[in-house]
Structure 1
Amino acid sequence: MRCFGFKGKVVLALAGVALCASSAIADNINVNGANRSMLVYAPSGIEKNRPLIIQMHGMNQDAPYQQNAAKWESIADTARFVVVFPNGENKAWDISGDKDINFLKAIINNMYEKYGIDKKRVYVSGFSMGGMMSYHAANKMGDMIAAIAPVSGGGSPNSPKRAMPIMHTHGTTDDVVNYNNTVNTVKSWVSAQKCSSSSQKIKPYPATRSGSAASLEIWSGCNDGVEVRLMTIEGKGHWYSMDLASVNTSDEIWNFVKNYSLDGVTPSAPAVVVPTNRDSIFNGGFDSSAVAWDLQLHGDAKAMGAAKDGKYQLDISAVGTQNYQVQLIQHDLHLEKDQWYEISFDASAGAARTLEVNVEQHTDPWDSYLGEKQNFEIGTESKTYSFKFQMTAATDTNSRLSFNAGAATGTLTLDNVKISKTEAEPPSKLANVRLEKAGVENYAVFSMNGVYLGRITADKAGLYEATKNLVKRPGMFLVKSEVGLTFRLNVK
C-alpha cells in the first residue's frame, strides 16, 4: 500500500483530502507558533470514548512511510480506535526537550475535540527514533499515556510520573539500534518499576506457530500492576516487522496496550484474530470492516477503499499501466496440489468496466496459479461472478486472491467473496461441431470452465490462428459464433 502526501506545507483546507487507500487524512495543528502536520485515520462513524494510538516514524522517514509500514487501518476498523501518524520536524524527533512533547499533548487534545477520544486510553508507539520518542514521552507525560510500544528504539527511565506498561519489539540483527543494548534498557525499566526479577519466556511465540522466529519475555508484578514485555525476533534487522510467519507487530501492540487505562480499568475490545493457513476467505462479506484485506497501490495509481454498508467500496482516481497497480488482496490461503477450487464474488461498478482476478503466490515472483488470469465484464447492477481452477502447482499455505482493478478509474463494489473446494470439472458434453460457414464472422472464446476470454473476427481458415493469438497458451477452448454454433478448438 502506497500513500500519497502533499509536498510542502499542509494547509487546513486540505484536512479532508484522502491521502491513501486507507482514507487517512492530512491535518495540521499549531504548536507553540509552529505548524505541525500529521496523518489521521479514524474508522467511518467512529464512536466517542474510543482509544487513540499515536505512532511515530523513524529518523529520515515520515508519516506516510510509517503508515504504510505498520498497516493499522484494518485493526482500527475492527477494534474501533483512532490512529495518528505525526510528522517530526526535519524528519526527526526531539528526544530530550519539550518541543515534541508539546506536539503529542496537542494531538491528544485535538483528537478529543474532533473525535471525542478517551483520554484515559491514549497509547504511544514508534519505530527507531520514534521508539526513542515513545520512551521520552513515558518519562515526561506518563500521566497522559496509558501504555507505550516502542519498536527498534530505546530510552532509559528518568523520573517517570507513573509506572508505564511497555511492549518493546526488536530484531536481533539490528545494525542501527543495537539489540543487546536495548535489552539492557528494557531491563532498566523492569528494575525501576520494581517488577519481578524472574520473567516468563515463550519461545517460539506464538507457541502454536512452530516456525516463528519470535520469542516473548514478560516481566509482571510491577508497580501498579503493569507488565513489561520484550518481543525478540531472531534474525530481524532494523525495520518494522510484519512477517506473518512470525508476528504482526501492529496486532501484538494493540493486543497488549488495549489492556491498560489511566484509571486501571481493563477496557473490553475485540482482539484481531485472522487465522493463517486457511482454506476459506476470511471476512468475505465485509460485515463490519475490511480486516484481512489489503489494498495495494503501485506506480502512479491512486485509489481509496473501505468497507461500507457491508460491502467493499473502491474509488479509483488514477490508474497506472497494469491491472495489478490497483490491487485488493487477501493472502494466507491454503491451496492443495491437484485440488479443484471455485472462486465466487458479487460485483458492480459505477460504469461498465473490466475486472481482472488472479490466484497467485504472495511472495516474489508472484506466479499465477491459473491457466490465465480471469477477466470479468462488470456492470452497474450487482451480479455474482465465479470461475473454477485446479491447483496444479505444489501446495501453498500462503497464496493469495487478487482483485486487480487498475484498468479504469471510477467506483467498484465487491461483496460475498468465497473460495471453496469443488469436484473436478467434468468433460464437456459438447460434441466437436464442424464449421459450416466459410465467411468472416465474430466469435466469442471461452475456457473449458466457461470463463470468457475475448472476442475474435476470422473466417474458417484463420479461426485457429486468431484463437491461438488471443489465448496465448495451449489447451482446449470453447468457441461460439454469433449464429449459435458452439465447438471445441484444441490449441497446440
Structure 2
Amino acid sequence: MKFLASWGVSLLLLSCTNMKGQDLSAYQKKVFEKNGQTMPYRILLPKDYDSSQKYPLLLFLHGSGERGDNNKSQLVHGSSLFLKDEVREKYKAIVVFPQCAANSSWAKVDSEGRYPNREFIFYEDPEPTKDMILLENLLKNLKQSYKVDENRIYVGGLSMGGMGTFELVRRNPKMFAAAFPICGGANPLISKKLAKPDWWVFHGDEDQVVPEKYSAGMVKAMKKIDIDVKYSVYPGIGHNSWDNAFAEPELLAWVFSKSR
C-alpha cells in the first residue's frame, strides 16, 4: 500500500515530537496472539478497576505514522486525553490502543496519482487486511477477558485509523454504539451498513493528505439514509484535525452517552 508509506515518514517525525514529556505508563503493555500472528496493544483500565463490574470499552485506531511493533507509537495522539484525572473520574471505561504492523493497514485502500493530486480508492466490500482480522479477534478476546458492557462499545481513529473506523463498523454493524472517525474516509456505498451507531465525523478543510471531500462524501451518503451523524469541519486546518477533535469539549460526553 504505497500511499500509506508515502506520508508515514512525516507523521512519524511529528509523532516522535509529541511523545516527549508524556507519562503513558498507566497504559499496560499487552500483545495479542492468534494463529502465529501478533498485535501489540496498550490498555488503560479505570481507576479502582473492579473485575466484577461491567465497563464501557473504547477502541482507538492510530494513523499510518504510528505503525510498527514497539507498542508505544500508537499512543502519540489521543492517549493523553483519557489520562486526565477529570476524564478518568467521570468516564470509567476500558480504553485500548492497538498497533497496526508496519506496511499494513486497518482497511484495504488504494490510491492513484501523486501528492498533492492523489486520489484514494475505497472499496465497497474488500477483503479484510491481516491487521483487521487480528483487530477483530483482539476485540473478541477483550470481551472474554474483561467484563465489557456490550451495549457501550465505541471506536474512533484518525487518518488511516479513521478509514479503519468506517471499515470496522462496516464489518461489525451491530457492535458499536458510537463511532468518531477523524480525517478519514470510505466508500459511500457502505453507508447502509453504518446505521447502528451514532457518528461524529471530523476533518480539516485544508487537509492535503486525506482531502476533506472523503469525509464529506460519507456524511452526505449517511444523512441521505437518516443515519445519526454530526460533522465538524475545521476551517484552515490541515491533516492534524485530530488536535481540534480531541479539544472538542463535548466529545467524550457525547461518546459515553451512547448506548445500543
Same fold? TM cut 0.5? yes
2:77 aligned with 1:69, yes or no? yes
Displacement of 1:235 after TM fit?
1.2
Partner of 1:85: 97
Residue aligning to 1:358: none
Report which of the two has the higher share of strand: 1
How do 1:144-223 residues align onto structure 2 when only pairs under 5 Å count?
A: 144-156=175-187, 157-158=189-190, 159-160=192-193, 162-191=195-224, 194-195=225-226, 222=227
Unaligned runs of 5+ in 2: 1-17, 109-126
Native 8 Å contact 1:177 1:238 kept in 2: yes
Shift of the 186–64 alpha-carbon distance from structure 1 to 2, 3 Å rule, reads: farther
Identify the structure with the greater helix proportion. Answer: 2
Shifted more, 110-119 versus 170-179: the winner is 110-119
For the pair 1:2 / 2:14, whether they are aligned, the reply is: no
Specify the alignment match of 2:10 in structure 1. none
Q: Percent identity?
A: 23
| Contact residue 202 and residue 215 of structure 2 kept, 8 A | no
CA distances 1:186-232 after superposition (whole Å, capped 9, x unpaired): 211222xx22xxxxxxxxxxxxxxxxxxxxxxxxxx4xxxx201111
Which residue pairs with 1:253 in the alignment? 251
- Measure the CA separation in 1 of the matches of 2:100 and 2:248: 21
Q: Could you report, residue by residue, the CA deviation over 1:263-321 in whole angstroms, capped at 9, with x for unpaired residues?
A: xxxxxxxxxxxxxxxxxxxxxxxxxxxxxxxxxxxxxxxxxxxxxxxxxxxxxxxxxxx
Task: Report the Cα distance in structure 2 between the residues aligned to 1:150 and 1:143, rounded to whole angstroms.
Answer: 17
Tell me the TM-score normalized by structure 2: 0.72
Deviations 1:340-359 (A, max 9, x none): xxxxxxxxxxxxxxxxxxxx
Aligned equivalents of 2:65, 2:92: Cα separation in 1: 30
Matched-pair contact (CA < 8 Å) for 2:174–2:196? no
- What is the correspondence of 1:227-376 to structure 2 with a 5 Å cutoff? 227-243=228-244, 248-249=246-247, 251-262=249-260
Q: Between Structure 1 and Structure 2, how many residues are aligned?
A: 213
Of residues 90, 103, 116, the one that matches 2:147 is: 116
Question: Matches of 1:240 and 1:88 in 2, distance apart?
Answer: 21
Q: CA deviation at 1:255?
A: 2.2
CA RMSD of aligned residues (A): 2.6
User: Which one has more relative contact order, counting CA pairs under 8 Å at least 6 apart?
Assistant: 2
- For 1:390, the equivalent position in structure 2 comes to none
Shift of 1:161: 6.8
**Gaps in structure 1 of 5+ consecutive residues:** 5-18, 196-221, 263-492
Distance 1:29 1:241, change over 3 A: closer
Name the TM-score, length of structure 1 as normaliser: 0.40
Return the alpha-carbon distance in structure 2 between the equivalents of residues 112 and 92 of structure 1: 25
